[in-house]
Chain A
Amino acid sequence: MELALQMLGLLTPVLIIHAFIIPFTKLFKSTRLPGIIALIGSMFAVISTTIVLFKVYTEGPMVYTYGGWPPHFGIVYEVDQLNALIGFFTAWIMFTIVVYSLWYSHHIDDPSWYYVLLIGLETGILGCLYTGDAFNLFVMLEVLSITAYGLVAYHRDRAEAVEAAAKYALIGAVATTFYFTAVVLLYAGYGSVNMAVLSIFTRISGAKVSAALKYISVFSVALALWVFTYKSALVPNHFWLPDAHPEAPTPVSAALSGLVVNVGVYATARFLYTIFGPNSAIAEYREIVLSAIFTLGSLSGILGALMMMAQRDIKRLLAYSTICHIGIAYMGLSAGFLSGNEEAIKLAVMGSIVHLIAHGIAKALLFMSSGVLIDAAGSRDLDEMRGIGRYYPLTSVSMILGFLNLAGFIPFIGFYSKLLIALGYLDSGFIIGAILIIIISALSIPGYLKAISAIVFATGKEPSQRVQKTWIEPVLFAMALSLLVLGALFQYLWPVYDEASRAIITMNGVIEYISRAWNLIPVELKWFMGVTP
C-alpha cells in the first residue's frame, strides 16, 4: 500500500497508543517524559496529516478501509479536500499547543494524566474529522467529549472548574446519546451508517421517497444538528462555553476554543451538504434547517460580540469571542438555503472554511499569549493586568496581531474570510447577510480594543513577579506571523480553499467523494445491498 493511505490508517491508532503509553512513565518518576511522548505523538500527527493533505490535493479523495472490509460493511476513513485541510491545520495548532504545554508545566501537578487527556483529545478531533462512518463519528465524538470534560476539570482543587465541567459533561452526555439515536434512525431508514453510501441512498430515492422515510430523515438530522451545535456552542446551546473554556488550563482553553468547536461546524457541513445535499430526499426541509442555522449564527455572533464588552476576565472575554466567531462560521456555512447561484454558495462556504482556520490559529494564539501575561500579573482580571504587556513586548505584539486578525483588519486572513462570506451573500442577492457580517465585526471591535488597551497601552503598577521562562515568546510570535503570511499569500492559496469548498458544494465534488468509496465495494455485495449495479 502507498504511504499516504497507510499514514491515514495509522493516524488515530498510533495517537491513542501514544496516549496510553504515557501513564507508564510514572514507573520512572520522570516529569519530562510524558511531555516528550506527547510531543512525538503530535509530531506524528503533523507529518501524517501533511502527507494526507498533499495526496488528497493531487489525486482526489482517498479511502482507508479498516481490516480490509469494504465501505458499508466495515469502518472506513474517508478524506476529501475539506477534512484534509481542516485536519492539517488542526494537527499543526495541536502541535504548538503541546509545545506550549511544556512551557506551562509549572502549573501542571500531574503531567502524565494531563498529556493522556491532551493526546486523547487530539485523537478525538482528528478521528471526528477523518471518519467516513456516521457511527464511528459517534465513537470519536465520545472520545473527544470525555477527554474534554476531564481536561476542563483538570484543576480539581478549583471549585469553579469542577462545576463548569459538571455542567458541560451532564448536557454533553445527553447530546452524544441523542447523536447515537440519530445514527440508529438513519440506519433504520436507509440501512447503512456509511456516509458515502448514505449519500447515495438519500439521492437515488429522490422523488419516490415515502413520507415515513422523510420524517425519519428530518428527525434524525434535527437530533444530529442539536448535538453538533451543542459541541460548537451555537446560541441556544452556548451556556456551557463561557464557564468551561476559561476554567480549563490555558493550553486546553486554546485547544477547546480553537479546535474542538470546529468539529461541530465540520460535521454540520458533512450532514447538510454531503449526506443530505440539495437534491436529496429532504431537500425542501433542508432549506428551512439552513435558514434556521443562519438565524442562530447571526444571533450568536451578535450575542458574543455584545457580551465580550462586558467582561473583565481576559479568558472569559476570549470565550465569548469564540461564540461570536463560531456564529460567523455558521452564517457562511448556511448559505445553501439561497437556492440557485452555486458559485455564490461556494464562495460563502469557502469563507466559512477559511474562517475556521483563521479563528482557530488566532484564538489558540490569544489564549496562549494571555497565559504568559496572566502568569506575570498573577490574575486573570483585566484591571489587575493593566500595562503588564509592556514588560513582554514580543508576547504583546503577537497578542495585538491576533486581536487584529479576529477583528478582521486588512492584511490578515481573518479579513478575507469575512469578506468572502459577505461577498457570497452579496452575489446571491441576500444583502441582509452581508450587512449582518459587517455589523457583527463592528460590534466585536470594542471588546478587542478594550483588552488591547488594558493590557498593553494602559499604565499600571510594576508586575509582582517576572516570568522566568520566556522561550515560548518566539513560538507565539511565529504563530502571529503565520496569520499575516496566510493573509498575504491569500490570492496564491485561493485554489486550495476553493477546492475544499468545491468538494462539498458542487455535485462533482460530492460524486467524487461517493464514488471513491462506492468503487471499493465488490459487485456481488452491491447486489446484496439491494442496489443493482
Chain B
Amino acid sequence: MTLDFINTYLMLILLSSLLVNVVLTIYGIFFKPHYTKKVIALTILSDTLNTFTVYIGYRRWVNELNPRPPILTVPPTTESIIEFAERAVDPLPQALVLTAVVIGLAVTLFLVFLGYILYAHYKTLDMREIRKLKG
C-alpha cells in the first residue's frame, strides 16, 4: 500500500462526503419547515463549498513532493523559486474562500436577526405556520 494510494483514497472520501453534504443541505434548506434549521443548513452548505474550493487549489502528493503552504522561507533565487512553484499549493482559492467566509458571516448574521424579528411578529419560526398566518 503506497502513499499515493492512501492519498487518492482519502481524497475520494473527502469528495464524496462533500457531495453528500451538498445534497443534504439543499434538502434542508428547501424542505425543512423551521427557519433556524434552514439557516443552519445554509451555513453548512457554504462551508462545504468553501472546503471544495480549498480542495480545488490543493496540489496532489506525487513523486515524494509533499505540498506546502505558499510561503517562501528562503531568499528568492531562481532555483528556490522553481522548487517553490513545484511544491506550493495554489493560494488563490484560499484567498477566494477568505472573502466568501467573511461575506457568509455577514449574510448569516443578517438572516439570524431577520429570524428574530420574524419571531417577534409571528411568535413562531415554522415557515408553514407563517404562511398560514399571513392568509
Which residues of chain A have a CB within 8 Å of any CB of chain B? 135, 138-139, 142, 145-146, 149-150, 153, 156, 159-160, 162-163, 165-166, 169-171, 173-174, 176-178, 180-181, 183-185, 187-188, 193
B61 at the interface (CB under 8 A from A): no
Known contacts A166-B115, A187-B92, A181 near B52 by CB under 8 Å: yes
- Main SS of chain A's interface residues? helix
The interface on chain B, measured as residues whose beta carbon lies within 8 A of the other chain's beta carbons, has a size of 31
Question: Which residues of B sit under 8 angstroms from A153, Cβ to Cβ?
Answer: 114, 117
Stretch at the interface among B7-15, B34-42, B63-71, B72-80: B34-42
Known contacts A169-B111, A170-B42, A184 near B118 by CB under 8 Å: no
Q: Which residue of A150, A160, A185 contacts B110 across the interface (Cβ within 8 Å)?
A: A150
Question: Which residues of B sit under 8 angstroms from A139, Cβ to Cβ?
Answer: 99, 103
The 7 closest A-B pairs by CB, nearest first: A159-B121, A188-B56, A184-B53, A142-B103, A173-B107, A177-B46, A181-B49
Known contacts A139-B103, A149-B110, A170-B29, A184 near B42 by CB under 8 Å: no
Question: Which residues of B sit under 8 angstroms from A150, Cβ to Cβ?
Answer: 110
Question: Which residues of A sit under 8 angstroms from B35, Cβ to Cβ?
Answer: 166, 170
Closest to B103 in A: A142
For window 92-135 of chain B, which residues contact chain A by CB distance below 8 Å? Answer: 92-93, 96, 99-100, 103-104, 106-107, 110-111, 114-115, 117-118, 121-122, 130, 134
Q: Are A184 and B29 in contact (CB under 8 A)?
A: no
B89 at the interface (CB under 8 A from A): no
Given contacts A139-B103, A159-B134, A193-B92, 9 further A-B contacts (CB under 8 A): A159-B122, A166-B111, A166-B114, A169-B111, A170-B38, A174-B26, A176-B103, A181-B49, A187-B93
Known contacts A142-B107, A162-B121, A163-B134, A173 near B42 by CB under 8 Å: yes
CA distance A406 to B95 in the complex (A): 45
Known contacts A159-B122, A165-B114, A166-B115, A177 near B45 by CB under 8 Å: yes
Which residues of chain B have a CB within 8 Å of any CB of chain A? 26, 29, 35, 38-39, 42, 45-46, 49, 52-53, 56, 92-93, 96, 99-100, 103-104, 106-107, 110-111, 114-115, 117-118, 121-122, 130, 134
CA distance A64 to B88 in the complex (A): 30
Question: Which residues of B sit under 8 angstroms from A178, Cβ to Cβ?
Answer: 49
CA distance A173 to B26 in the complex (A): 12
Pick the most buried of B52, B100, B130, B134: most chain A CB atoms within 10 A of its CB: B100
Nearest CB on B from A15, distance (A):
18
Can you identify 17 A-B contacts, CB atoms within 8 angstroms? Answer: A139-B103, A142-B103, A142-B107, A145-B107, A146-B106, A146-B110, A159-B121, A159-B122, A162-B117, A169-B110, A169-B114, A173-B46, A176-B107, A177-B49, A180-B96, A180-B100, A181-B52
Q: Are B117 and A160 in contact (CB under 8 A)?
A: no
Closest to A160 in B: B134
Nearest CB on A from B105, distance (A):
11
Nearest CB on A from B88, distance (A):
14
Question: Which residues of B sit under 8 angstroms from A187, Cβ to Cβ?
Answer: 56, 92-93, 96
CA distance A185 to B52 in the complex (A): 10
Q: Which residue of B53, B111, B118 contacts A173 across the interface (Cβ within 8 Å)?
A: B111
Closest to A139 in B: B99
Closest to B131 in A: A163
Question: Which residues of A sit under 8 angstroms from B38, Cβ to Cβ?
Answer: 170
Closest to A141 in B: B103
CA distance A163 to B99 in the complex (A): 28
Pick the most buried of B92, B114, B118, B121: most chain A CB atoms within 10 A of its CB: B114
